[in-house]
Amino acid sequence: MLEGENSIVVIPSEDYLGEGIYVDAGHLTIQGSGSLSIDAHDAIYLYDGDLTVNNTTLNITAEDDGIYVLYGTLTINNSTLNIEAFDDEGLDVEEGKLIINGGKITINAGDHGIEVDPVYSEDPNEYELGQKDLARISGAVLDITAYDEGIDTDGDLEINGSTITIHDADIGLDSGSDITVSESTLNITCRDNALESNANLTITDSSITVDSTDIGLFSYGSVTVDSKTSVSIEADITVVRAYGSLDIPAAWGQIGSFVEGDGSVRLFLVDADGNPLTTLTNDVAPSAAPAGSYWLAVLLHKYNTTCPITVLTTDGGSVEGDRTVKYGRNATFTITPDEGFIIADVLVNGKSVGAVESYTFKKVRRAQQIEVIFAPDPAAVTETPAEDIVDPMYSGENAA
């Protein structure tokens, strides 16, 4: 039970970077009217157990992850979290779930603000089915600044009654499954897609403000937005892009950023009240629109853009895998050293990921690079037999 102000500071050594709090195969609850400040490589690291933060304040400074939970559920109830994670995620849950009920969370992350991966099935390449509410955020206020995704989940993402602001991220909200937003306010500034769903995107009774240099709403499945939702999207490429069905309100005529057709974009013309006037092909210039009307750009066809992946290697092995990948898809590279060699290091976009035997780029959206460094295997070096070693202090000619 926290009372007053408390702190944990871990000074790293050459052999130990250090966790502020480390729990192995156990459950941890942090609660109380006081506060806890943690300054460590990983502030809180929980393995094979659940972490619950109740009605308290955490101030976290971490070189790597702010809070990392593996094989468990991270639950945050009515708490205040201020997280600085310089090189990695603010909140990172692998093979588990994230539940946030109330409170205020501020994250400044060098990678993802929040990342949640689902529990794996027996096949490590497939996720278990039916994992609803993998990440659920209810009645909370989140303010996230992230270099990569603001919130990234490989399963369902549900947001209800919350206010989420995301600054300067690549992607605002990114889900490998459904995204459901209800009675919430989203303010997103990003360099890529603001909301991206690999399944279905549903928004009801909410307010969405987006400033994106790519796409506002992007879904590999359906996009559904009800008439109670107010939307202001400034997107340099397209306001909405969907593989599947599209159900949007007529009031979307007030959207402020549009693009001309390029053969795959359909331009919908609506009047000042958002009522559809007609559907036009891409060879009709937007300048031909009547005064007081608006253009709404929607892509209904598959997005077939491919992204290149550059492979660099030293002598001593090979790398097999895709050299190009479709936008948003995964690409796995298998690394095989030659006989007498080992994998010394693997660099992804210049950052070491260790001496791994394979690496998967997830949801590729831009050019990538993987570099593999091979080295001679120390165990394979042939030692010189002792009888072949000449002792300079001894010669058979001088033997007595």
Q: What is the pLDDT of residue 231?
A: 77
Burial label for 281, CB within 10 Å (0-12, 13-18, 19+), is exposed
Q: Are the CB atoms for 85 and 64 separated by under 8 Å?
A: yes
List of residues 6+ apart from 272 with CB closer than 8 A: 253, 292, 293, 294
**What is the architecture of the domain spanning 306-380?**
Sandwich (2.60)
SS3 of the chain: helix, strand, coil, percent, to 5:
5, 55, 40
Q: How far apart are CA 266 and CA 295, in angstroms?
A: 10
Tell me which residue has tokens 């790519």.
214
Which residues are CB-neighbours of 306 under 8 A, at least 6 positions away? Answer: 324, 325, 326, 327
Distance, in Å, from the CA atom of 143 to the CA atom of 163, rounded to the nearest integer, reads 8
User: Model's pTM, two decimal places?
Assistant: 0.68
Each residue's pLDDT expressed in tens, for the chain with a length of 400 residues:
676 678 788 776 555 567 899 999 889 999 998 899 999 988 999 999 999 999 999 999 998 899 999 999 999 999 999 999 988 899 999 989 999 999 999 999 998 999 998 765 455 444 444 345 589 999 999 999 998 899 999 889 999 999 999 998 889 999 988 999 999 999 999 988 999 998 899 999 999 988 888 888 888 888 888 888 887 777 766 777 777 777 776 545 433 333 333 333 444 555 555 555 554 444 344 455 555 554 555 544 334 457 789 999 999 999 998 788 876 678 899 999 999 999 999 999 888 999 999 999 987 777 889 999 999 998 876 555 555 555 555 454 544 4
* pLDDT at residue 258, as a whole number: 36
Residue 36 CA: distances (Å) to CA of 3, 30, 43, 91: 9, 9, 11, 17
Q: What is the pLDDT of residue 284?
A: 41
195, with CB counted inside 10 A (0-12, 13-18, 19+), is buried
DSSP output for 146-208:
ESS-SEEESS-EEEES-EEEEEEES-SEEESS-EEEES-EEEEEESS-SEEESS-EEEES-EE
What is the distance between the alpha carbons of residues 82 and 59, in angstroms, rounded to a whole number?
5
> Which of the 8 DSSP states describes residue 291?
T
The bridge status of strand 97-109 relative to strand 368-376 is: unpaired
Give the pair of three-digit tokens for residue 335: 């690394």
Numbered ranges of CATH 2.60.40 in the chain: 306-380
Query: What is the Cα–Cα distance from 270 to 273, expressed in whole angstroms?
Result: 8
**Can you give the pLDDT at residue 338?**
94
Looking at residue 280, its pLDDT comes to 45
